[in-house]
Chain A
Amino acid sequence: MLGITVFGLLILLLISAGLVYKSLPVIRQQSLHDLIFTSSWKPSKGHFGFLTFILSSIHVTMIAILIALPLSLFSAIYLSEYAKEWVKKLMSPAIDLLSGIPPVIYGVWGTLTIVPWISDSLAPHFVEFSTGYSVLAGGIVLAIMIIPLIISILMEVFAAVPLEMREVSLSLGATKWQTIKRVLLLKSLPGVLAAVILAISRAFGETIAVLMVCGNFTDVPKSIFDACYPLPALIANNYGEMMSLPIYESALMFAALLLFVIIIIFNAVSRLILNHITRRYQL
């Protein structure tokens, strides 16, 4: 059992070592700074600048968080503080199901509804032309995908705040909402932060759903109605061609390494905060 446990931990090391090893050629050829902060993407000439893809990922993720956070926050407060038993019984399978729906289904739904909605109804008010395959479409689809994650973490965080704290505030004459605002939210602020960080890392790495709705166009998007090209989509779209050029393969593996590093850091921070919270209240 110890052996298999160690093997499990080794996988984490192996992934990082493998990705670093594979991306060394491209890092040697261009500097790290050049790879991350320039945006000219010319695989045939062997020049790779990831800025467009990194920015696309950041834009899409930001929109997703902006949409998902208020919805999930209010819904989680409602479920943990107000909702009656039968409402919880209705909501919890719904949230489970929402988190269980595969990314590709979200992608199909996005191309069926969100994309035409943006190109026909929303975008004409703001820009001259948009195909609908855009930063906004990616953000909306991602937002829906991370809502269940944020809600389930927030519910745990809220449950960790001792009941006595709420009762003290209520007994001093505060209304329920005042209690939530001044006691519950204040107390669970680190937890909310952790949930957001975890959601960011989930959104950052999502591939197929975003790939299907965001257009995949290698130009820095000028508005949220323009197409974009996030990092995971880049890897998924080009894996077929990468075998022909070793340096191309190295560049795509560098993209995977970037994703891996960013997500590991975000995950670690968020998990540390969450572990700290549960430990403090459970003792």
Chain B
Amino acid sequence: MRKLEEQIMKIVMLMASGIIIFILGFILWKIISKGLPSLNWDMVSKTPSGGFYLGKEGGILNAIMGSLMLIFCSVVISIFLSLPVALYINFILNRKSFASGVIRFAFDIMFGIPSIVYGAFGFMIMVFLGLQASLLGGIIAVSLLIMPIMVRSIDEVAGQVPRDLLEAPLSLGATRFEMVKIAARQITPGITTAILLSVGRGIGDAATVMLTAGFTDSIPTSLLQPAATLPLAIFFQLSSPVEEVQNRAYSAALILTIIILILSFSTRYVSRKISKSKI
């Protein structure tokens, strides 16, 4: 009886895991098989021309460039905000102190705030500053969105820096700030992982940019112009009744998925390198 139960449960567990793998495969297969037929060079090299949304010529270069500009600026801003926080709670404060616990808790909470709320908040800032939907607005919202992700993932690697390494410079008479510089060099691969993770999250998020960055057919030339983004390009084209446009939505989805796949595998590659070089 006990053995039978054991066997049944084992099969149930295997099935549950199998279903999850199957779903992932199903999603990827569906996106690839739907997106591949209408994927061509025009898609990634041209901006929408007249009649694009009726199925005429053009591509989604505007959205690709918009997404890249947006994510690049956001990551740069966010890293300047997150790195000091992560270093502060790990090396200036004691990692296990109450204060850094509270700060970590706050960032965990911020990590849980949905992207639409960041979008609404970004929108609020824009109204306050008198901005229209623009690249800048999107950058503000996305920077806030990815900041907690960065803090969390840098925090995780920072916790693995050996204590001796921190005490050695201090005992040699280095200041705390110099010690932090040494620690920062130790966690560089961790920062790379943090960046890759945030790029993945930021580039795929639609709700924040929907409220802040707007949408346009041209590539933005200044921070104050609206910017198209990949997720929104997919979303808007999918809601079109024209079949060619819908097909283009599928191939845009494929492009985004390929970007995410590359990011996901590089994240694994980098973090494997970290664990190899660990003492």
Contacts and interface: CB of A to CB of B under 8 A. Distances in A.
A223 interface: no
Contact of A105 (B119, B120, B253): B253
Contact of B117 (A72, A102, A151, A260): A260
B27 A109 contact: yes
Nearest to B100: A5
B2 interface: yes
B204 interface: yes
Contact of A271 (B13, B108, B257, B267): B108
Interface of A is mostly: helix
Given A82-B10, A102-B204, A113-B30, A12 B17 contact: no
Nearest to B206: A208
B194 interface: no
Contacts of A196: none
Q: Is the interface of B mostly helix, strand, loop or mixed?
A: helix
Nearest to A71: B16
Given A75-B17, A177-B6, A5 B103 contact: yes
Contact of B87 (A1, A18, A267): A1
A100 B151 CA distance: 18
Interface in B94-148: 101, 103, 105-110, 112-117, 119-121, 123-125, 144, 147
Contacts of B14: 78
Interface residues of B, number: 78
Nearest to A209: B206
Interface in B247-262: 249-250, 253, 256-257, 260-261
Contacts, number: 239
A102 B124 contact: no
Contacts of B124: 18-19, 22, 253
B31 A109 contact: yes
Given A5-B103, A105-B204, A204 B114 contact: yes
A94 B89 contact: no
Given A94-B21, A94-B24, A105-B27, A12 B109 contact: yes
Interface of B: 2-3, 5-6, 9-10, 12-17, 19-21, 23-24, 26-27, 30-31, 34, 81-82, 84-85, 87-89, 92, 101, 103, 105-110, 112-117, 119-121, 123-125, 144, 147, 151, 180, 200, 203-207, 210-211, 231, 234-235, 238, 249-250, 253, 256-257, 260-261, 263-265, 267-268
Interface of A: 1-2, 4-5, 7-9, 11-12, 14-15, 18-19, 22, 70-75, 77-79, 82-83, 87, 90-91, 93-98, 100-109, 111-113, 144, 147, 151, 175-178, 180, 198, 201-202, 204-208, 212, 232, 235-236, 239, 252-253, 256, 259-260, 263-264, 266-268, 271, 275
